[in-house]
Amino acid sequence: MFSTIIGQPQAVEVLKGAIENQRLVGTYLFVGPAHVGKATTALALAQALNCVGEPDAPFDGCGTCYGCRAIADGTHPDVRSAAPSGPSRTLRIPQFWPREGVREHPADRAMLRDLHFAPVRGKKRVFIIEDADALNDDTANSLLKVLEEPPAYAIFVLTAPSTNSVLPTILSRSQAVRFRTVAAPDIEQALVSRHGVDQAHARFLAAFTQGQIGEAFRLASHPALLDARQAVLDAASDLTSGSPLIAAYKVADDLRKAADKLTAGRKDDAAESQRTALTHALDMVLLWYGDLLRIVVAKDSLAPINADRAEMLHRHAAGYAPATLARAVAILNDTRRYIERNASAQIATEALALQLLALPRRK
Ligand SMILES: [Zn+2]
C-alpha cells in the first residue's frame, strides 16, 4: 500500500496523481539508490490498481482483500516480477519470453508468456522488472516493442539505480520517477513501530544503513549483527580509551574476528563476503569516531548514534581535539578503500590500528 511506503512522498504523489487523473503511462522507470523502496512501491502501485476491497485512502490499496494480499505474496496472476539471476547478474530473454529447453527459466513461467490476454483477476496487469540496468542488448531489444506500446491493460515498472545506468532505448520509452535515500529519523521510527526494534538499536541501524530502509529492515532481524556490533564497539573503544596497554595487532585481530561474525551463515563467495564484512565493521568504527567528533564539536546537544555506550563515548571524547578525530575518520575511510581494492585484511587492519593508536591525545 502507498500508505506504508516510508520516505518517498514525491514518488508516491506522482503515482497516485497519475491514477487519480487517469494519466498512467505504459512504462515507468523507478530510479534511485538500492534498498530505498522502489520494488515495494511498484507492488503498492499494483495493489492500488488491482484492489477489490475498501481502501482507507483514495487511489490506494486496502492491504487486506484478495488482490492486495496475493500481490504482497507474489501469487497474483496479473502481477509478475523479474529480477537478475545467476552469478553474472543478468536479465535473460527466457525470463520474459517462453523458450524451450532452458532449465533455469521454464517456458511456462516466462513473465510475458500471456501478455496478450486481458487481466484474469484484477483490472491491470503489472510487470515489474527489477534492476533494469542488468538488461543486456538482446534482452532489451526483445522488450522494446512492448515497452513502447504495452496493451492498454498492462503497465511496466522498471527499477534502476540511475537513468544513465539503463540503455537509452529503454530510457526513451519510459517515464522516470525518482526515489531518494530515506531520512535516518524516518527509518528509526519505522524500525521501532513496525519491527519492534528497541530505540537504541534502531538509531544505530538507521545510521549504519545510510538511508537504505530495506537494508535496515533486513538487518533488524539479523541476530549476528547485534553480536558483531558489540564486538566491533569493544575494539573501537580499545582504540580510543587512551590506555597504554592496548596492542595494535590485538585490536586488528579483534576487528577481523568481529567482521567474521557478520559473515556467519552466508553462502556466497567467501573471500568477497569477508571483504564486505570488514568494510561493514569499519563503517561501525566510523560511526564510533563520528559520535566522538559530534560530542567534541557539538557538546551535549546531539545524542550519539551508539546511545547504549554514551557514557563511555563522553569519557573518551575528552581526550581528543576535533582535528584529531577528523584525521581518524580520514584514516578509516582510506583503509575502507584499500580493503575494497583487495588489500590484505591483516595488513590493512594492523596499519589502521597503529595509526589510530598513535593519534595525539589531550592530557
Ligand atoms: Zn485491496
**pLDDT tens by residue, 23-41:** 999 999 999 999 999 999 9
pLDDT tens-digit readout, 180-197 = 999 999 999 999 999 999
**For the chain, how big is the Rg over CA atoms in Å?**
24
Mean pLDDT of 112-131: 93
Residue 4 Cα to ligand 1 midpoint, Å, equals 13
Residue 220 Cα to ligand 1 midpoint, Å, equals 28
Residue 54 Cα to ligand 1 midpoint, Å, equals 7
Residue 121 Cα to ligand 1 midpoint, Å, equals 12
pLDDT tens-digit readout, 289-309 = 999 999 999 876 678 899 889
Residue 59 Cα to ligand 1 midpoint, Å, equals 11
Question: What pLDDT was estimated at residue 7?
Answer: 93
Question: What pLDDT was estimated at residue 25?
Answer: 96
pTM of the model as a whole: 0.83
Sign of CA dihedral 252, 206, 217, 179: negative
Question: What pLDDT was estimated at residue 58?
Answer: 92
Looking at the domain 2-178, which fold is it?
Rossmann fold (3.40.50)
Question: What pLDDT was estimated at residue 265?
Answer: 54
Residue 184 Cα to ligand 1 midpoint, Å, equals 30
Question: What pLDDT was estimated at residue 268?
Answer: 58
One-letter amino acid for residue 96 of the chain: F
- Nearest CA among 46, 29, 38 for reference residue 8: 38
- How confident is the prediction for the chain on average, in pLDDT? 92
Residue 152 Cα to ligand 1 midpoint, Å, equals 22
pLDDT tens-digit readout, 159-170 = 999 999 999 999
Question: What pLDDT was estimated at residue 298?
Answer: 84
Mean pLDDT of 151-164: 96
Sign of CA dihedral 159, 109, 5, 26: positive
pLDDT tens-digit readout, 64-88 = 999 999 999 999 999 999 999 877 8
Residue 63 Cα to ligand 1 midpoint, Å, equals 5
Residue 77 Cα to ligand 1 midpoint, Å, equals 15
Residue 15 Cα to ligand 1 midpoint, Å, equals 17
Mean pLDDT of 269-294: 88
Three-state DSSP class for residue 301: coil
Residue 71 Cα to ligand 1 midpoint, Å, equals 9
Q: Work out the pLDDT band at 227, boundaries 50, 70, 90.
A: confident
Question: What pLDDT was estimated at residue 140?
Answer: 95
Question: What pLDDT was estimated at residue 300?
Answer: 62
Residue 120 Cα to ligand 1 midpoint, Å, equals 16
Domains of the chain, by residue range, sit at 2-178, 222-357
**Cβ-based neighbours of 276, under 8 Å, separated by 6 or more:** 263
Long-range CB pairs of 197-203, under 8 A, 24+ apart, other chains included: 199/307, 200/307, 200/308, 201/226, 201/308, 203/303, 203/305, 203/307
> How far is 122 from 77, CA to CA, in rounded Å?
8
What is the DSSP code (8-state) at residue 181?
P
Residue whose grid cell is 532481524 = 221
Mean pLDDT of 216-226: 85
Residue 188 Cα to ligand 1 midpoint, Å, equals 28
- Whether 271 has a pLDDT exceeding 70, the answer reads no
Residue 36 Cα to ligand 1 midpoint, Å, equals 23
Query: 144-158, 293-307, 308-322 — which is least confidently predicted?
Result: 293-307
Residue 176 Cα to ligand 1 midpoint, Å, equals 26
